[in-house]
Structure 1
């Protein structure tokens, strides 16, 4: 038995050598295959990058000059000049901003002093490689419908609709804009809301669900236009196609223009909006949402618009866009 031990040890040693050699050659083969794959990928990328010059193009394509490369801000304001100045000063520094249109519905036109100040702020805070245009869109009538009037000279497709008392970091705005670019026909925003069937009144009656119902269920069917991206074509659609009865109702009640826009887009696309995660800083607290009975009035709006549209176009969803670069768990 003792004489057999060295033989078995030598056998095990030889088997290990053969195994190591086999594994070693396998590793070498895998390494060679990986190198070949990386070489092919590099060549294909080089050919793809060089295809522009091959096809007659020279230089880099300036994506920022395309209608979807940048966006315009449409900002609603009403006699809150300090908030307006703060908001314009902040957003003027956002990288892909093309222009700012201030929706002005006050009885008196904007003063020259205010215009000079805001133009100076835009010039001071704009990036060196861009010139942000500042425009006052002055309206004769005081109506919340004015924030969705068609703007003839908009160069960019994307509209970022925002209130003067809401501020988002530019990084959040840029992320939402990127999400919108992936789905340019839908609304992309930060403030979700929901409609719920009113079981007490029947399947054709609805209740307006505020933030807490969205937080509790994770379900929403609207993103409010106080902070949302949408295509500029919906300004024309709202101006030309929104039923006059709905516009009159909004003007009279000074409420629900954002719900009307959500109805309009959902009716045109048969798709839900996209909720984007972002930090929001509300500088003011004097808006209509701070008044008593706000939820009841919004519920009335939802049911009024369902009657006018002839159906409920809003679609619930649970999807939320999150920037994984800023999230440790994704």
Structure 2
């Protein structure tokens, strides 16, 4: 029987170093060695034979801590059964001798320990791969980039068999985006830009096989005669398909140039016009976020049936800051209309607070509130445009539809997108919103409504301009052009893609206007007034060049007056619209448009140019007229009398930016260009309308000598464009207003004069002295 120390002594010995202490034998002092070392037990047997008969060898061992695990603790004297042949313990019979030796001594050779652990690792790997221990990973695989992450899914559905049905599991969380229209389509993969000659968008409209809806007929009217329209499919790089009324929500017959939908746009004011569209782009009203393909499809607004074709009704906001005591919130109802509240929780029918006063408004009545609460379901998308028009800040609760034109419009500047699960927190945030933030949001709603949503024509043209920017790529319009006045529809990339080149962005970008101008003189008949006008203009220190637009049947003279500025002659086509063509000869941004009969002085020219440098986006003129609404006849009138108000400055003597030549030539419809060619006197009216549409501001009037103005008109009678007689001018105004769909002209009562103009001081102190000379 081997006597072993108590567990406490064993632990102390292990802490002191354990291992190989000298073994003490009773009755056998010279018998030393390592117990169970090098794989034999001969030394222990010799000690047993040397002990006295009848007395077992008494051996005192120092065991490491790991040896405690193999000890049988059922008695005070522990027994190592395999070594002594006594009754073995259950543990000892299962552990091989070499493991017991390792546990007791801990000095297995290095190669044996490595072999042991290698064999053990191989053994466990075999168990894993053979499935004896089915280990299930707890961490799901990493989602692919571009995929929306839904709720966590169990990898082994066997764990949930008793709790759910397999077909009900996907409904527990957000759905993965489904794109039955060809989810692999991107702009670069499914659109061939090489077919767009000069990177300009030209479209061909395929006729519908069935009856066309009224909204689609209005879309056709807005496209015919526009700069996008192509008469032949071979000239177009984009084919437009309008689903017929019979095939609403289904796939109608495909056009002959379908080609799998490549370079095709299916435009529908109804949701989900077709699910088998191949490589075609889809522009539909309020598309679901699950099937919308960003960067390829285009989200349209939900337009009512009575939406105007052109122009449209302006925004209804008259006061940007909310009035004291005004209604804070209007809630959109499911069947249309609005419900205004002064409650703290108007959407909760179980609210314990007093609901406060409430009023229900029909669908056609715009809400008079600061915020408009719009639910996230698609049926509420029709209320979105109503809120924009009314200047009511939209508050969208987790919208499940794509916001219109979200590719280019930054809706964070005009709307608030909130979580529908936190309604009380949303209302608290609305009440605490700063007035400056409310003002900014309301102003942006009015701009977006006027620029992109007020008419069917603007919605269609915005869709095409988004595709045009995709064709241009990096040369497309920056986000600032889309999200600041006057908007991308009036900022043509054919002119420039730099913001500082446009007149309405120059001052915002910190760019100073040029210090020189180009004089463009329209000549219909040569004579003495032309030579005098050239000398007057050339005398200005700001004049950089003089361009003579020769539109007379007679050839231009061989000799011109000698001037200190360059003079060039441009041969026109004898059309009134030649005056506003973007000629490459024009080297400056500022243009002084003159008629051959204009009667000005050099000081008047210098002062007018100085005024224009402070307002580069507006027209600065000398002779002005006013328009008015004739209530009796129901038409627009034209006043020839000098009055305290004016809304038009004649381009026969006015400063403006050369960008308006590009806009005049490339943005007008075919019908307006035909009107100008048939009625040359209307070209001046059309230019005034165009500038007023961009700026939404009146022109600026500068002084003109009173004595000379009373003695002779600014533009004398002659074949060139001049202030039109009252009946002709009135007809032009009504024709152009009908084509624009609204009246953009704005009246003003302001005139710009020099600081010391007419003041009783010395003439030597005045900068523009000749302005007061008779």
Asked whether the two chains share a fold, i.e. TM above 0.5, the reply is: yes
* Separation of aligned partners in 2, 1:275 and 1:88: 23
- Deviation, 1:283, is 8.0
| 8 Å Cα contact 1:158/1:230 also seen in 2 | yes
1:106 aligns with 2:552: yes
| 8 Å Cα contact 1:92/1:122 also seen in 2 | no
Q: What is aligned with 2:701?
A: 275
| 8 Å Cα contact 1:100/1:134 also seen in 2 | yes
Shift in CA distance, 150/319, structure 1 to aligned 2, threshold 3 Å: same
1:198 aligns with 2:624: no
| 8 Å Cα contact 1:83/1:284 also seen in 2 | no
Shift in CA distance, 104/288, structure 1 to aligned 2, threshold 3 Å: closer
Q: What is aligned with 1:310?
A: 741
| 8 Å Cα contact 1:195/1:206 also seen in 2 | yes
SS at match of 1:234: helix
**1:67-87 CA-partner distances (Å, limit 9, x unpaired):** 611001111111232221221
Choose from 247, 252, 261 the match for 2:687.
261
Choose from 646, 649, 672 the match for 1:246.
672
SS at match of 1:166: coil
Q: What is aligned with 1:208?
A: 638
- Deviation, 1:317, is 0.8
1:151 aligns with 2:577: no
SS at match of 2:562: helix
Shift in CA distance, 136/320, structure 1 to aligned 2, threshold 3 Å: same
Q: What is aligned with 2:525?
A: 79
* Separation of aligned partners in 2, 1:181 and 1:292: 26
Choose from 739, 743, 751 the match for 1:320.
751
Q: What is aligned with 1:51?
A: none
- 1:1-330 pair list within 5 angstroms: 68-110=514-556, 114-116=557-559, 118=560, 121-123=561-563, 126=564, 132-139=565-572, 141-202=573-634, 205-210=635-640, 212=641, 215-216=642-643, 218-279=644-705, 285-287=716-718, 294-328=725-759
When Rg is computed on C-alpha atoms for both structures, the one with the higher figure is 2
Shift in CA distance, 122/232, structure 1 to aligned 2, threshold 3 Å: farther
| 8 Å Cα contact 1:87/1:167 also seen in 2 | yes
TM (normalized to structure 1)? 0.69
* Separation of aligned partners in 1, 2:555 and 2:727: 34
Q: What is aligned with 2:30?
A: none
Shift in CA distance, 142/69, structure 1 to aligned 2, threshold 3 Å: same
Gaps of 5+ in 1: 1-65, 127-131
**1:226-247 CA-partner distances (Å, limit 9, x unpaired):** 1100001001111111222222
- Deviation, 1:282, is 5.1
**1:292-330 CA-partner distances (Å, limit 9, x unpaired):** 992101100000000111110100111111112232179
Shift in CA distance, 138/297, structure 1 to aligned 2, threshold 3 Å: same
Q: What is aligned with 2:420?
A: none
Shift in CA distance, 293/224, structure 1 to aligned 2, threshold 3 Å: closer
| 8 Å Cα contact 2:595/2:720 also seen in 1 | no
Q: What is aligned with 2:36?
A: none
| 8 Å Cα contact 1:68/1:158 also seen in 2 | yes
| 8 Å Cα contact 1:165/1:282 also seen in 2 | no
* Separation of aligned partners in 2, 1:67 and 1:122: 28
SS at match of 1:172: helix
**1:221-269 CA-partner distances (Å, limit 9, x unpaired):** 1100011000010011111112222222222222121111110000111
* Separation of aligned partners in 1, 2:623 and 2:724: 20
* Separation of aligned partners in 2, 1:207 and 1:198: 6
SS at match of 1:200: coil
> Once superposed, what is the RMSD of the aligned Cα atoms?
2.5
The structure showing larger relative contact order (alpha-carbon pairs under 8 Å, at least 6 residues apart) is: 1
Greater helix share, structure number:
1
Shift in CA distance, 108/288, structure 1 to aligned 2, threshold 3 Å: closer
| 8 Å Cα contact 1:83/1:283 also seen in 2 | no
TM (normalized to structure 2)? 0.30
| 8 Å Cα contact 1:221/1:273 also seen in 2 | yes
Shift in CA distance, 98/290, structure 1 to aligned 2, threshold 3 Å: closer
* Separation of aligned partners in 1, 2:621 and 2:587: 21
Shift in CA distance, 283/82, structure 1 to aligned 2, threshold 3 Å: farther
* Separation of aligned partners in 2, 1:293 and 1:312: 19
Shift in CA distance, 196/100, structure 1 to aligned 2, threshold 3 Å: same
